[in-house]
Chains A and B, each alone.
Chain A
Amino acid sequence: MADIYEALVKIVDKDYISTSKEERYLYGRDPGLMPPHEPDYVVMPAKVEEVQEIVRLANREKIPIVPKGGGLSLTGLVIPQKGGILLDMKRMGKIIEVNEKGSYVIVEGGTTHGALKSYLQKHYPHLRHSIPDSPPIATVVANAVIHGQGRLTQQHGFNSDMVCGLEVVLPTGEVCKIGSCAVSQYWFSKGPPMPDMSSLFFGWFGTTGIITRMALKLYPCKKLRDVMLFLTDKADLVPDIILKLGRTEMMEDVVVSAQPIPLRFKGNFYILAFITGDTEEEIEFKKKMAWNTLWEYFESKDGGFVSLVSEMKAPMMSMPSKETTKFADVSKGGGFEYSGPIAPIEKYPVFVKKLADLAEKYNLFYASSARLIDGGHCMMFSFSYTFNRAEPDSMVRAKKALDEAAEFALENGGVMWKPNIDEQKMMMARMDPNTLNLMKKIKQLLDPNGIMNPGNWEVS
């Protein structure tokens, strides 16, 4: 242990290395429900060369490395299951370059979404990126690594789909560029027209390398933004309603909320359609399109648009979404977690019923937020339950509900988003054996010593 600490001190300023019980305690757990496990070292590198040297050291000593961004997946993806070195990447937080005409930004591996949002607003107010609902400390890279979603996901897919170049420290210590940046000074493509190797690093939860730089596509930031609220009490209609909104190709984002309190929410489905425009005319036109496309539900008295005053709109439109975070305090217990399958949109009615059934079975408070992905190819549906950290029993009940929700989602054709290690096992048990074997081969090839975030995607 002492030797490894001494070796780390030669790589990183010792002020940014800790073996103290306090840092190990905190970095050994996340706000969700997965059991804690402490790292032996918490290290904060400042540059790619330091990351390389740490990886080489870990290979020599055969000790695990877990790269961490904001640590907000809630599913324990950066809990060091086998100890070792936890790399907190947030000292690598620079915004390196904005290529305005190429519409992309290059950030370091620990840049937060908050910092990027603020930077673009100040220096490039006509450009934006897809901001997730998670708090601003979530990092751009880690969010892409877990295939996160954001405000532009309805239009452009998962946030990982918006990546256009990577610099990665491989598990064996080499620095590797992925995408157009491997052959050009421009970072406009993560692969095409070459073989797309970027997918070796997304969805793998840091088991295949550490992303130290990433280019992300930027999109026009229109001058005006608004939100419409469509209300229905018929879950069966929700899939068609959100698909129709998506197929107008005029919505920035489409999100459905369901929760039992306040009482006015119970039994109702709140469909939020966000729109943007450069002029009032553009906004009004898009609103009219939304009205027209959903008019039949108004006529059949199955739903209608709700008038919103600006005070009501502001929290709905905030980016990132403070309202989402507030859910953690609904039970005054400091905790919530959600199981978030990516699933066919048609499954919304059965998922939302299961959400309420599990809440009743386990005596939990629930909520759900479903987001249309990529114009309507699928949705993210969150089975969200609160728990009280001061009441261990409520944590056990919430975990059981989430496990059941995951099983249910998989049985109904869903695929778990940012799965915890239990859910990873559920998915691998169902996975095509050849696919599983391919995953195993890829991991063995890239990480021969098995040092990268071990415990995750462990194919037996």
Chain B
Amino acid sequence: MKKYQAQIHRCFRCGYCKFPTDYSAFNCPSYNRFRFDTYSTGGRLWLTYAWLKGELPWSEHLAEVLYTCTTCKNCTEQCPMKFAPDIVDWIIGARSDMVEQGKIPARIKRFLESVYSYGNPLKIPRTERGAWANGTKKYSQGDEYLFYVGCLGSFDENGQKMAKSLVEVLKAAGVSFGILGNDEECCGNEVHALGETELFQTLAGKNIEKFKQLGVKKVITLSPHAYNVMKNQYQGMGYSFDVYHYTQVVSGLIKNKKLKTKDSEFKVTYHDPCYLGRYNKVYDAPRNILQGIKGIKLVEMDRNRVDAFCCGGGSGNFVTDYLAGGEDSPARVRIREAEQTGADVLAVACPGCMVMFKDAVKAEDVEGKISVLDIATIVKESIVA
């Protein structure tokens, strides 16, 4: 029996999982969006247990309730019980059972099939993976870092801008690095979160094999999702390497004066990505970058760091978009929260968050009032040649 099946009945459905630390709002993105208790973590765990016991048959709705979880781990932080660290794994375990039984919603099926066929969830031919790079050097032995770009960085328009900005920043600082281009595989973080264990193993295996062949010792990722999966899932799969999110590297470059930045004058608020913050406790590096650029004033949203409200894009939702629609969609809520700080810029460190917020700014009709910029681009714009 899988571990989650033996433990899942332990949820008391107390509801702490719905809140941030100060209880000021609902901090579970899917519960805030849909408001039925079924869409909270406690609700999901009870429904899953009912399904396992045979009290509830599988249905498209049951599966959608499970798949609207963004795996943001707010519940893990707030649950008072000893099993709190395992909650999200239980949800992933239930998804995995559904995948094994071929009982998954159409949107999830399309996502997974696309990764299987195209190597990315956006259904873009894998031969175009390196097209954004415009001559960026491919990784070769001896380079200090491999820059792992990821699916959104390779294929999404905004993600590509982030990737290009980071390349310029790294070059300006004299960092020795290269990319994999068309040889890069999807990192598999979302595939893992969606419960497709076998496909995840395949993707991770291919990446690890490549890293091994090339003798990669250090990886920089654009996405916190890739950072997370390489740091926490790849290790122990046959090859060890160090992995850094780009904000960790760039903050070091600024601190060590490898980058000279000019004065800027704007007010920024920063959104903590779940896979960087709650998953890996990287809260300071992005803030250190912003505060390291003279003239930038960093203001915090009410919900920040461990209490940051998820953009709604995790667990493949940046493609499947289950949480979109309406004023309560997490990204729109977050944009309003950012706007309340009076910031000119909402800074992000994740291409998934970027996708979600770019859409939300339009939906909220505040394009002229607040800009969504990634930290790599903010740094690039500030560099003195």
Contacts and interface: CB of A to CB of B under 8 A. Distances in A.
A25 B23 contact: no
B22 A23 contact: no
B19 A137 contact: yes
A42 B35 CA distance: 11
Interface in A318-332: 322-323, 325-326, 328-329, 332
A31 B14 contact: yes
Contacts of A329: 10, 12, 81-83
A27 B37 contact: yes
Interface stretch (A111-119, A193-201, A240-248, A414-422): A111-119
Contacts of A16: 35
B24 interface: yes
Contact of B36 (A18, A136, A137): A18
Contact of A91 (B12, B35, B65): B35
A344 interface: no
Interface residues of B, number: 36
A335 B19 contact: no
Contacts of A44: 35-36
A325 B23 contact: no
Contact of B81 (A15, A42, A112, A326): A326
Tell me the interface secondary structure of chain B in the complex.
Answer: loop
A122 interface: yes
Given A26-B37, A26-B43, A88-B37, A21 B80 contact: no
Given A22-B65, A44-B36, A118-B24, A136 B9 contact: no
Contacts of A113: 23
B14 A20 contact: no
For chain A, the bracket of interface size reads 35 or more
Contacts of B65: 22
B24 A115 contact: yes
A217 to B, nearest CB: 20
Given A22-B65, A112-B23, A117-B23, A31 B36 contact: no
A72 interface: yes
Most buried by A among B16, B25, B59, B80: B80
A384 to B, nearest CB: 13
7 contacts: A18-B36, A22-B47, A44-B36, A72-B14, A118-B24, A325-B80, A336-B12
Given A42-B36, A90-B35, A136-B16, A26 B24 contact: no
* Residue among B12, B22, B65, B80 with the highest chain A CB neighbour number at 10 A: B12
A449 interface: no
A334 B38 contact: no
A82 interface: no
B56 interface: yes
Interface string B1-35: 00000000111111110110011110000000011
B199 interface: no
B35 A332 contact: no
Contact of B22 (A88, A121, A334, A336): A121
B131 interface: no
A137 B18 contact: yes
Contacts of B9: 333-334, 388-390
B257 interface: no
A303 interface: no
Interface in B28-58: 34-38, 43, 46-47, 49-50, 55-57
B99 interface: no
Nearest to A16: B35
B326 interface: yes
A385 to B, nearest CB: 14
A122 B10 CA distance: 34
Interface string A210-254: 000000000000000000000000000000000000000000000
Contact of A328 (B14, B25, B326): B14
A119 B23 CA distance: 9
Given A70-B15, A88-B36, A22 B22 contact: no
A236 B14 CA distance: 34
Nearest to B16: A135
B10 A119 contact: no
A72 B12 CA distance: 10
The 8 closest A-B pairs by CB, nearest first: A114-B23, A137-B15, A328-B12, A118-B24, A322-B80, A334-B10, A136-B23, A389-B9
B10 A332 contact: yes
A115 B10 CA distance: 26
A150 to B, nearest CB: 15
Contacts of B15: 70, 72, 135-137
B303 to A, nearest CB: 11
Nearest to B33: A15
B40 to A, nearest CB: 9
A208 B46 CA distance: 31
A368 to B, nearest CB: 19
A391 to B, nearest CB: 9
A333 to B, nearest CB: 7
Contacts of B81: 325-326, 328-329
Contacts of B11: 334
B80 A22 contact: no
Interface in B180-197: none
B62 interface: yes
B36 A25 contact: no
A200 B151 CA distance: 61
Given A113-B23, A118-B24, 18 more contacts: A20-B59, A22-B61, A22-B62, A25-B55, A44-B35, A88-B36, A115-B25, A118-B23, A121-B22, A136-B15, A137-B18, A137-B19, A325-B12, A325-B14, A329-B12, A332-B10, A336-B12, A390-B9
Given A322-B80, A334-B12, A26 B18 contact: no
